[in-house]
Amino acid sequence: MQIRQISIFLENRPGQLSQICRALSEADINIATLSLADTSDFGIVRMIVDDHEKARDVLISAGHAMKVSEVVAVCVPDSPGGMAGVTAVLDEAGANIEYSYAFSFHKGEKAVLVFRFSDNQIALEALAKAGYVTLAEQDVIKEGVLS
């Protein structure tokens, strides 16, 4: 399963993240998770939201450069070695990880690893073969499936 993630490109200056969060809040869009990476001049906010199409329209209307991409989310135990097992499977399959970020549900129980691969299909097949559960978009957005 693949999940749609939005990536927003921002100038690296005060108030930029707040502006995005406010615009999404006013449009009643919930942010399930996000990651922020920066350089000296700009940042990239990656997020999974409950309505990526509406979020795209809101952010473009507000003048933000953004794109929607496909990512893979994997549920693992929230304990030492949870990510190591997944990355070993991905390494063995030759899956190229472009970037990753994580979040947890019920600390100490379940963690979700979000990956962007150069070829999602290679990773999905390797993870399935190894018995890992990949999550659907609604699984990430609504905690109930993970609890």
Q: Note whether 127 and 72 are within 8 A (CB).
A: yes
pLDDT for position 107: 60
Number of domains comprising the chain: 2
Q: Note whether 46 and 34 are within 8 A (CB).
A: yes
pLDDT band for position 144 (50/70/90)?
very low
CATH number at residue 11: 3.30.2130.10
DSSP for 87-103, please give it: HHHHHHHT--EEEEEEE
* Average pLDDT across the chain, whole number: 88
Residues belonging to the chain = 147
Q: 78 and 58, same structural domain?
A: no
pLDDT for position 108: 60
90: containing domain: 71-145
pLDDT in tens, 122-143: 999 999 999 998 988 888 877 5
Q: 84 and 61, same structural domain?
A: no
pLDDT exceeds cutoff 80 at 106: no
* Average pLDDT of span 10-33: 91
pLDDT for position 39: 76
Task: Report percent pLDDT > 90 for the chain.
Answer: 61
CATH number at residue 96: 3.30.70.260
pLDDT in tens, 36-74: 987 778 889 999 999 999 999 999 999 999 999 999 999
Q: 123 and 64, same structural domain?
A: no
Give the DSSP H/E element, type plus range, for residue 59: helix 52-61
pLDDT for position 54: 95
